[in-house]
Structure 1
């Protein structure tokens, strides 16, 4: 059988030396008795337990009175003592009142010292006081967190099966699977080139379902967007679409999109694929703060989007059965319409991310495959071709349009992007307004510009390659690619503010260490007058 064990010392929960000795005698006596041996004397009983601290205060008095407990939060003994005097006698209340243990060390450095100070000041033991919990990154990750690392969230648009049927090369972009291009992997470069030229010369079709889609409803909808975005939306006419730029409280650009005013009390707002969750959370946060009369709905998964773009886009849509007039006069650039197309209820916005005549059709996701099929069928006579993410990236680069998170970073301001036109000078407030005004007074040191490399150049810098001035880095390439329309490589890059003028020449360090020069050109490499998209 299993041998009976007799606990002693720390194993029996005794701490003091006298109790430990007595515990050992009792354990020995019990063990002998179980083995059948007589015990002459009864072992002494444990002495009554007296609670007393077995420590000294871990603070050495400083001549100048700087007795720090928490270096993360710059807290001293007197800060904790003052909190206790104010009535915060429990350790969790002391933590919340003083912020002790809330810094990067998460209490690992200060929790025990804090508990001892509170214990001494309140006449209690540490056992009665307790200590706060140290959390990650100091605390270890649980096995559950580690086990779930390989369970990657994947999202597919309602048109995923249509892309696979067209032999699309799918690529993960954040949580979404998107078509990178259509065709054989062995001919990727040629396929992308053909997709770009199809949009420039005929008509293309892009799945934009991954875009964030947010609906703002309520009598204060215009005021709400006025406070959130840099442009004016309260005075935006019904049926019109406006660009919207979002800043954080530091005045840095964090998202952009468009806002379509469907009614006096209703807006349909798009956000970038990667930022929509944060934008939606920010909207809820600010709405809780401002208490405006609005409801915010996240329709990203509920609605799908199709972008029909190119010189023949209008001809394709006019082929379909619809109650929407797609003519130039009835449906001008930067406007929106509601109606039906091929039997599907749609919200259509005329915008121009590619620089061509474009219509973005948003419909319930359940109807997206049928609408896609209808557009594809109508486009056969006009040479319609679906295009993927890489072609879309080059098309927008040719127009000088930015990508949030690629052409911006954590400190990018609207002025650095050349987006002063997108910031209202008349609004008394919007998130980030005070910060960009303060930063403007400090002056800027960099500017996002277009760079153009000679046709046939063999050494082209890649994204993140440094822009140098006097041998020192002053910026970097943010986007670069070959433009079939211009037959040369083009790029967006941050340069020193003194080099922003068109015609200036900047030096870029390639990945192989070679230095190349490139002239500064306008953002809009292709159709700078916007004649094609506004036709």
Structure 2
């Protein structure tokens, strides 16, 4: 790119680099020969055969014919002999002359060399599954390998991106590259050298020029003068009457396709490319550009230099989307309370990008620890770190209208100090996130999102804000704020024991309300909401103050048996109450109706994202519903998550969440079932992992305290 801005890929890492001086030693690209059936398996470039032999220890065939129009072809034949391949014949299309050392060596090894001939056509085995024979000078030669070495073209892609121009030297029949005077230099085969010593000398000269431009005192290195200048062999390209003489193997383009393009009036190489798609495949013209230029030049009565080649655009090679996306190290985030969890011997596990406590205690008693944590919440009080929740603040005169358009429930008329459930859909009416919205002021909302979806929710908010142009600002406070969930029958007693200016009494702080104030000297935003089915308060505060708030809550809760609990206990507690997890109990096509969340969708709002889609999908009818399944106590075979729900032997849904409920003494699950089987009391068939079919009764979502008495 401009000013030597270079993206360098090393393995899976992309380095963005700006260099003052650049030396390009990109080499040359061997060119294939054009003849009938030149795409048969068993026909390959000489360099390909050498790579198989020398790099991978693979013998490319057993009986070979070598097409050699340069010394590289002779070297390929010698490598084939070393690998145990029988070289039946070497075909050199150049006229006979004085034998060189490579030719003499091959003849000494018993290889037949035919001069002034070329490969006319090839034939395959039955079904053209592999090369069977080639025709040379009118006679057929049986072989299973044909290597082709007829010439090379300099790798022009990077030099051209640096401002280089591709030309053609008619005297040597070779492509040339010229660069403007500046900070980019060529070395080796890309600079037009054929011999090894010339390539080394050109590298020294380019390095000396680059270093001198950087201010280093260097001994002068003379420009390279080739030891010998020999015209390259130019293969005559004539369309075979029967076709299958491929010029571009990626796009299956034959000689006649390019000739016909010129007959249709496409005389310029860029137009020929666009009309025929030559050079648009994975190789990006590396093996077809020179042959195409020669065909177009011949068809239009011009020189190859006048035709040129098509524009070389980045990238020069395949790039993985992962390299372009960014670093490949796993992103790890820790909450402000991470050290407190470690001190309490929590089993920390990565959940998405966050390290979270799975349970507290020794691994040898993990199941017992989880049961005790659940029991503490159900009978006393528990404390959960919910800092990983997404936290977004919406400010501005149109904040209520903004949320009205984004979420399914009504927020414009939401009273200050109240909290409402938020359900977010995409344009196709599928559920993508949920949370709560606490109206702190007429022009200010504090909105939570799920841990895994907050990045998308924030991006969507920014997108829609730019589109709708409402008077709002959106702030992402996920990392800036931490959250603690105090839950259980004794939660209010613990909070009342803390020094606070917030009245936590039942009447002063009802369900689905929010308050701002101070707790234990820490400024907090408190919401009375529930994910466990128990009395619950979420306390959100600046992350820098979260450890002191945690310590204060732990101290106040000690007389009440407060116990911190981890992610596994939280998962079972929410499952007992029938609460869903976005991404686990939902998928890419889940609608609110399938979840039984019609209560969360406003029927009065004229618009929200996804409204039109869910109305259209509702008219199509429901095919599945999310229900609760309750297994008999002591059941021996419990299906796992993703196990299929069957109806008349056909799959109609799957288990989304399953676990053992200590509160109920049995396994419970959430699952998608056929819409006709969603009524409580229905029985559905589930296929276990071992193939056994079990019948399970359908129950309401809320397994524990279905009337919300607690």
Distance 1:230 1:114 in 2: 59
Residue in structure 1 matched with residue 277 of structure 2 by the alignment: 99
Secondary structure at the aligned position of 1:178 is classed as strand
| Mapped contact 1:101–1:110 kept (Cα < 8 A) | yes
Structure 1 residues 20-29 or 295-304, which shifts more? 20-29
- How many angstroms does 1:145 deviate by? 3.6
Distance 2:461 2:525 in 1: 22
Change (3 A) 1:500 1:374: same
Change (3 A) 1:22 1:293: closer
- How many angstroms does 1:319 deviate by? 0.3
Distance 2:418 2:560 in 1: 29
Secondary structure at the aligned position of 2:310 is classed as coil
| Mapped contact 1:344–1:371 kept (Cα < 8 A) | yes
| CA deviation map 1:395-432 (0-9, x unaligned) | 00001000000001111111111111111111111111
Structure 1 residues 21-30 or 95-104, which shifts more? 21-30
Residue in structure 2 matched with residue 28 of structure 1 by the alignment: 207
| Mapped contact 1:108–1:134 kept (Cα < 8 A) | no
| CA deviation map 1:456-495 (0-9, x unaligned) | 0010000010101111111100000000111100000000
| Mapped contact 1:101–1:107 kept (Cα < 8 A) | yes
Matches within 5 A, 1:125-136: none
Higher relative contact order (CA 8 A, sep 6+): 1
Structure 1 residues 347-356 or 75-84, which shifts more? 75-84
Structure 1 residues 312-321 or 432-441, which shifts more? 432-441
Distance 2:277 2:437 in 1: 41
Secondary structure at the aligned position of 1:14 is classed as coil
- How many angstroms does 1:99 deviate by? 15
Change (3 A) 1:10 1:418: same
Change (3 A) 1:75 1:147: closer
Secondary structure at the aligned position of 2:548 is classed as helix
Secondary structure at the aligned position of 1:150 is classed as coil
| Mapped contact 2:484–2:538 kept (Cα < 8 A) | yes
Secondary structure at the aligned position of 2:184 is classed as coil
Secondary structure at the aligned position of 1:245 is classed as strand
| CA deviation map 1:234-272 (0-9, x unaligned) | 111100000001111111111100000000100000000
- How many angstroms does 1:444 deviate by? 1.6
Structure 1 residues 60-69 or 133-142, which shifts more? 60-69
| Mapped contact 1:105–1:138 kept (Cα < 8 A) | no
Secondary structure at the aligned position of 2:394 is classed as strand
| CA deviation map 1:139-179 (0-9, x unaligned) | 53479949986622110000000001111000100010000
| CA deviation map 1:210-254 (0-9, x unaligned) | 000000000110111111111111111100000001111111111
Secondary structure at the aligned position of 1:238 is classed as coil
| Mapped contact 1:52–1:125 kept (Cα < 8 A) | no
Change (3 A) 1:259 1:101: farther
Structure 1 residues 62-71 or 384-393, which shifts more? 62-71
| Mapped contact 2:417–2:438 kept (Cα < 8 A) | yes
Change (3 A) 1:495 1:314: same
- How many angstroms does 1:437 deviate by? 1.2
Distance 1:431 1:97 in 2: 43
- How many angstroms does 1:137 deviate by? 12
Structure 1 residues 112-121 or 498-507, which shifts more? 112-121
| Mapped contact 2:239–2:255 kept (Cα < 8 A) | no
| Mapped contact 1:53–1:125 kept (Cα < 8 A) | no
Structure 1 residues 31-40 or 370-379, which shifts more? 31-40
- How many angstroms does 1:530 deviate by? 1.3
| Mapped contact 2:322–2:328 kept (Cα < 8 A) | no
Distance 2:607 2:257 in 1: 37
Bigger Rg over Cα: 2
Distance 2:354 2:272 in 1: 45
Structure 1 residues 74-83 or 133-142, which shifts more? 74-83
Residue in structure 2 matched with residue 166 of structure 1 by the alignment: 344
| CA deviation map 1:341-364 (0-9, x unaligned) | 000000000001001000000000
| Mapped contact 1:251–1:436 kept (Cα < 8 A) | yes
**Aligned-pair RMSD on alpha carbons?**
8.5
Secondary structure at the aligned position of 1:177 is classed as strand
Equivalent residue pairs, number: 529
Change (3 A) 1:242 1:375: same
Change (3 A) 1:468 1:94: farther
| Mapped contact 1:354–1:395 kept (Cα < 8 A) | yes
Change (3 A) 1:85 1:490: farther
Distance 1:280 1:37 in 2: 52
| Mapped contact 1:203–1:310 kept (Cα < 8 A) | yes
Aligned match for 1:470, one of 648, 652, 660:
648
Residue in structure 2 matched with residue 267 of structure 1 by the alignment: 445
Distance 1:463 1:32 in 2: 64
Q: Which has the higher strand share?
A: 2
Change (3 A) 1:105 1:482: farther
Distance 1:168 1:501 in 2: 41
Question: Structure 1 regions of 5+ residues with no counterpart?
Answer: none
Give the TM-score normalised by the residue count of structure 1.
0.78
| Mapped contact 1:217–1:296 kept (Cα < 8 A) | yes
Distance 1:38 1:160 in 2: 56
Distance 2:211 2:535 in 1: 97
- How many angstroms does 1:82 deviate by? 20
Residue in structure 2 matched with residue 114 of structure 1 by the alignment: 292
Question: Structure 2 regions of 5+ residues with no counterpart?
Answer: 1-181
| Mapped contact 1:107–1:134 kept (Cα < 8 A) | no
Distance 1:74 1:88 in 2: 19
